[in-house]
Structure 1
Amino acid sequence: MKKAFLQLHLSVFLAGFTGILGKLITLNEGLLVWYRLLITSVTLYILFRFQGTLKKLPWKDILPIGATGVVVALHWLFFYGSIKYSNVSIGVICFSLTSLFTAIFDPLINRSRFDAAEMLLSMLTLFGILLIFHFDTQYRTGIILGIISAMFAALFTVFNKRLIKRFDTYTITFYELSVGFVVLTMFMPVYLYLFPSATLLPTSADVIYLLILAWACTVCMYLLSMSALKKISPFTVNLCFNLEPVYSIVMAFILFHENQHLNSAFYAGLACIVLSVALQMARVVWQHKTVKA
């Protein structure tokens, strides 16, 4: 269990850089995600072929894994859209609602009982988001996109929990991101028609940021988080990922001075979210000690 929590928190730390990189990369959200998926898929293919861990799967297995990959691509599109329409702090804090959606989707999809404690903790997170939404009207579009992003992030974790019971994490990660890339490529002409971009090619700085985003914040982060999912519940994984905004917000304050544009409602909402994470972690530790006793 300790190893799983270490893997989980390292993946959360890496995830904290995704919002910062999304702000630094000058491409729009569609092209940003397309390049991220391209670099990641090629990297995984080379890595897994070299290691001999890449497995060929029949179409009946590729389809459910690939569908989850499409959910990942949608999550990223809305996540970076949220950052582009607001800022890093708003975009990443909306991601905290993933725990609420997980508490709802996990019992419905996996046909288990609703956990009252999970729902209460999630409502605390929701209250924090509502504080920001109500009092900080200039970022409402970004907040709405961020909430949709959190919904897809929750679906991704719940679906992955089912997949890792049948397949290894390497196979799942490769097919998810590869199919997500293929599907996004098919829709990119329509996307660029609806949301045109001044340029299709990344700058030299963008290339460096995209490589960091793909290799450290995607390949390493996803393998770590999916390994942790083998021993930790989807709700706990997503709630721990609520720490991602803390890392991202601190870096955004330092790099972009976003603290100059945020009001007291933002900090009150952030406090509610941090409290929900602390309470859930205390609850998980207490449950684990009770089981061992």
Structure 2
Amino acid sequence: MKKALLQIHLAVLLWGFTGVLGRAITLTAPVLVWYRMLMTAIFMAGILYYRKQWQPIKRRDLGQLALIGCLMGIHWVAFYGAIKFANASIALVCLSTASIFTSLLDPLVNKSRYDYKELLIGAMALAGVYLIYRFQEFYGLGILFGVIAAILSSVFTVLNKRIANKYPARLMVFYEMGTGWLLITLLLPLQLYYQPQTAILPTNMDWIWLVVLSLCCTVWAQSLALNALKHISSFTATLSVNLEPVYGILLAFVFFNKKD
């Protein structure tokens, strides 16, 4: 249990960098996610091959991993959209509302009782986002994207919990990233059609940040989180993620000063 909590908190610390990196990378949200998922899948495939951890997956489980990967891809597009339309700090605070959605969804999926303490904690996070909207209405679109990202985060966390004990974390990350990348590949032409000026190729600095984002904030962080989910509840994992805004806001202040 202690090891699992340490793993999830280390994952959250790594995820805290995603907001900063999302702001630093010049690509639009869908293009950024396309590169992130592709590079993560490639890195993870290399690790699985080197460690000889490939193993067959049941068709039903593969379908669930594919669904999780697609939800994760859309979640990241929404999250980076929130960063682009608002800023890293607001996007991360909006993401903390995932706890209320998890407290509502987890009992339905896993057939457990509702915990009113969990509902209260989640409602407090939601109230905090409402207050931000009241005083920062010009960030309305960014806040909307942030809440959508939070909802999707709670859904794929609960679904990951159901399958976490069946397969190695790295194998799950590979299939989730691979299927999510396929979905973004299918959707990306829509942005290129409506926004033909969209930059597709990263700059030299973008490549560096994308490698850091893929290796540290995705390959390592996702593996840690999935290993932790084998021993802790979905709500505990989501509640731990509420610390992500703390790390992210501090990092955003360091890198972008008072702007974020």
TM-score bracket for the superposition, by shorter chain length: over 0.9
- Which residue matches 1:123? 123
Equivalent residues of 1:69, 1:176 under 8 A apart: yes
Q: What's the CA shift string for 1:43-78, capped at 9, x where partnerless?
A: 111110111002233433311111110011011000
- Which residue matches 2:15? 15
Q: CA deviation at 1:194?
A: 3.2
- Which residue matches 1:136? 136
Alignment of 1:7-86 (within 5 A): 7-86=7-86
- Which residue matches 1:286? none
Q: What's the CA shift string for 1:167-208, capped at 9, x where partnerless?
A: 221221111111111121122112322344432100000000
Q: What's the CA shift string for 1:217-266, capped at 9, x where partnerless?
A: 000000111111111111011111111111110111121123x57xxxxx
Task: After superposing the two structures, state which structure 1 stretch, 145-154 or 100-109, moved more.
Answer: 100-109
TM-score (norm 1): 0.86
Structure whose CA Rg is larger = 1
Equivalent residues of 1:100, 1:122 under 8 A apart: yes
- Which residue matches 2:148? 148
Equivalent residues of 2:20, 2:88 under 8 A apart: yes
CA 1:180–1:120 in 2, change beyond 3 Å: closer, same or farther?
same
| 1:73 alignment partner AA | G
Q: Flag structure 2 segments of 5+ consecutive residues without an equivalent.
A: none
Secondary structure of the residue aligned to 1:257 is helix
| 1:82 alignment partner AA | A
- Which residue matches 1:277? none
Distance 1:246 1:30 in 2: 25
Give % identity.
41
Equivalent residues of 1:85, 1:142 under 8 A apart: yes
| 2:158 alignment partner AA | V
- Which residue matches 1:251? 251
Distance 1:48 1:194 in 2: 38
Distance 2:73 2:212 in 1: 18
Distance 1:255 1:39 in 2: 25
Alignment of 1:201-212 (within 5 A): 201-212=201-212
Distance 1:22 1:158 in 2: 25
Equivalent residues of 2:28, 2:198 under 8 A apart: no
Q: CA deviation at 1:88?
A: 0.7
Distance 2:72 2:198 in 1: 26
- Which residue matches 2:5? 5
| 1:53 alignment partner AA | Q
- Which residue matches 1:96? 96
Distance 1:2 1:197 in 2: 49
Q: Flag structure 1 segments of 5+ consecutive residues without an equivalent.
A: 262-293
Q: What's the CA shift string for 1:112-171, capped at 9, x where partnerless?
A: 211111001111111111111111111111001000000000001000000113222122
Task: After superposing the two structures, state which structure 1 stretch, 50-59 or 169-178, moved more.
Answer: 50-59
| 1:133 alignment partner AA | Y
- Which residue matches 2:159? 159
Equivalent residues of 1:163, 1:172 under 8 A apart: no
Distance 1:116 1:57 in 2: 37
Superposition CA RMSD, Å = 1.3
- Which residue matches 2:227? 227
TM-score (norm 2): 0.96
